Structure 1
Amino acid sequence: MNLCMSLFMLNIFFLTNSWMASFKSSGLCITVAALLHYFLLTSFSWMCIEAVHMYFALVKVFNIYIRHYMLKFCLIGWGFPAIVVGLLLSINVNLYGYETKLKSSNPADMFCWLRNDTAFYLSVVVYFGLVFLINLAMFIVVLSQVQAMRMQRLSSSTMTQTLHHLKSSISLTILLGLTWGFAFFAWGPAQVIFTYFFTIFNTLQGLFIFVFHCLMKDNVRTQWRIHLCCGPFQLSECSGKAMA
């Protein structure tokens, strides 16, 4: 829920950025740029936390106990990005503002973002690079653990195991934000191709999370049918209660 909320706010500020920039208010643009930066970092942070959570749940299992588990994750996921953004604002508030690389004078092309390349590389590229390495390591460990658990189920056919393995790989890749790694390959002759991959997969990340972790999970679909209780999708138990 925290990851989805973070991605939702990131998309809201990204989609409304040019419109807010068209007001030509320096204070508003700095605020929008800082909030866009903040929710970008929180999205990365919650992807990393999701990876750590899965590691605890599937690998460590009963070998670890953390008091105030969710509270500590919330402090990290929402607090650490706030420290980064707050630090940049305290150093120089003008690090945020109108993007100076855009040469067009058209107001629709104006965008509020980080104006300093050094600040961008340190607070975005390096930040995501660390998250990407952690998530990639967790992805390999968790996927290996899941595969080992499935190998013990002798009743499943080879084709079924392959499909489940593929679905798990894709869903974990989306959930952990590994598709953001396409940005590292968007240079040279392959720049256009990987830029398209980066744009398509990451703008649809929320949709993919909904498909793989809501629509394709039986227990989640059952809960929706219990609580919504409408039309042909309602469970027979709900139908009986409604008639009573």
Structure 2
Amino acid sequence: MTLAIHYCFTSAFMWMIVEGIHLYMASRNYNFTRKFLYAFSAVGWVVPFVIVAVSYGVFKNNYRAKETCWLSAESGSIYVFYATVVLNILINSVCLASVIRTFLSLRSNKNKHKIEKYRASIKAVLLLQPILGLTWIFGFVAATTKVESCSNLFVIFNGLQGVFILLFHCLDNNEVKKTLRLIRNKRKATVMFSKRNQSTSITDYNK
């Protein structure tokens, strides 16, 4: 069970790193090909397997904590997880900073006032942090320093991560809105066609 949990967490962090790299490449207008899909899939699924396998091979019997199905702090296997968290925070922070810099350098934002630019930057951070896992900064600080306020912030932000992703990256996505609009219009057309046929059938019957 510990192996499965460790793999799932590591895979989640690797996919968040992939998302950060993808955003960075998109901001630089990279031409995405199939090889990038293979590379991203390898980072998201294969790299975590290697990390977990090596960790288990190194720590062996001391890999799991005695009382819980999680990594052991006594043997030091927990630091493998900490390293993954730190790697995610560092890479995605750099990617986010680069994306915001590119965003602010756009022609439409160059003439804006500094306050407006700051607002745009804050909005970008709030929109992107759920899919980049930057809320784990609070979790890492809470785990290493035992600061209760960071624990509370981590629980709040990380607990709402799925809600943020749903609101900002699904329901607020232009492609999703367009698809939902098409489905709604198709349903309306179907209902109208059905009513028209029903009305025609009644008219013919009365004749």
TM above 0.5, yes or no, is: yes
Shift of 1:157: 9.8
In 1, Cα distance between equivalents of 2:9 and 2:3? 10
2:138 to 159, 162, 182: 182
Larger Rg: 1 or 2? 2
1:25 is aligned to none
In 1, Cα distance between equivalents of 2:141 and 2:52? 27
1:214 is aligned to 170
Aligned residues of 1:174 and 1:209 also touching (Cα < 8 A): yes
In 1, Cα distance between equivalents of 2:63 and 2:175? 44
Aligned residues of 1:48 and 1:131 also touching (Cα < 8 A): yes
Q: Count residues in correspondence.
A: 191
Gaps of 5+ in 2: 194-207
1:115 is aligned to 72
User: Identity over aligned residues, as a percent?
Assistant: 28
1:203 is aligned to 159
1:47 aligns with 2:16: yes
2:200 is aligned to none
In 2, Cα distance between equivalents of 1:172 and 1:158? 21
User: For residues 78-97 of structure 1, what are the structure 2 equivalents within 5 Å?
Assistant: 78-97=45-64
Aligned residues of 2:104 and 2:110 also touching (Cα < 8 A): no
1:240 is aligned to 189
Give the residue type in structure 2 aligned to 1:215.
Answer: L
1:224 to 157, 165, 180: 180
User: For residues 1-244 of structure 1, what are the structure 2 equivalents within 5 Å?
Assistant: 32-59=1-28, 61-62=29-30, 66-97=33-64, 99-100=65-66, 111-117=68-74, 118-121=76-79, 123-149=80-106, 151-152=108-109, 164-186=120-142, 191-226=147-182, 229=183, 234=184, 236-244=185-193
Shift of 1:33: 1.0
TM-score using structure 1 length: 0.67
Gaps of 5+ in 1: 1-31, 101-109
In 2, Cα distance between equivalents of 1:192 and 1:152? 39
